[in-house]
Amino acid sequence: MNKLPPGGLLARRAIFFRQEISIQDEIWLGGGNILGLTTQTEGVLAHYTLDGVDALLLMVQYPDADAASTGLTALNGAKISDLLIAGTSNTLLAAIFSTDPAAAALLADALK
């Protein structure tokens, strides 16, 4: 949770999770555990408003870089609605969902 960029973060709209079912009401990822979540993964889904546009930031911490890479490949292959940016940095996967590429870019810049 401490890795969440504070700018635009909506109060009380961040969810810590270990299973996909925990975030299904917020974002539909297909219901098949495409991220490869286990008891060793930790995730957070946070809601943002950037320049009046809604965005979601999904971050998952994996036990190793290979698992993060596999999760990214599966996420990109799933064709999830509004997924604009996704990537990994070592064991961390981050994905941004929005209808506005500019808002997604602002959030991506805040992650750097």
What is residue 48's predicted lDDT score, i.e. its pLDDT? 97
Q: Architecture of 42-112 per CATH?
A: 2-Layer Sandwich (3.30)
What is residue 112's predicted lDDT score, i.e. its pLDDT? 84
Strand order in the sheet with 53-61: 9-17, 42-50, 53-61, 92-98, 83-89
Q: Is 62 exposed, middle or buried (0-12, 13-18, 19+ CB in 10 A)?
A: buried
What is residue 94's predicted lDDT score, i.e. its pLDDT? 97
Q: pLDDT by residue (tens digit) across 68-90? A: 999 999 999 998 989 999 999 99
Query: Do residues 49 and 10 touch, judged by C-beta distance below 8 A?
Result: yes
Positions of the chain with pLDDT lower than 70, given as ranges: none
Question: pTM value?
Answer: 0.94
Query: Do residues 40 and 66 touch, judged by C-beta distance below 8 A?
Result: no
What is residue 103's predicted lDDT score, i.e. its pLDDT? 93
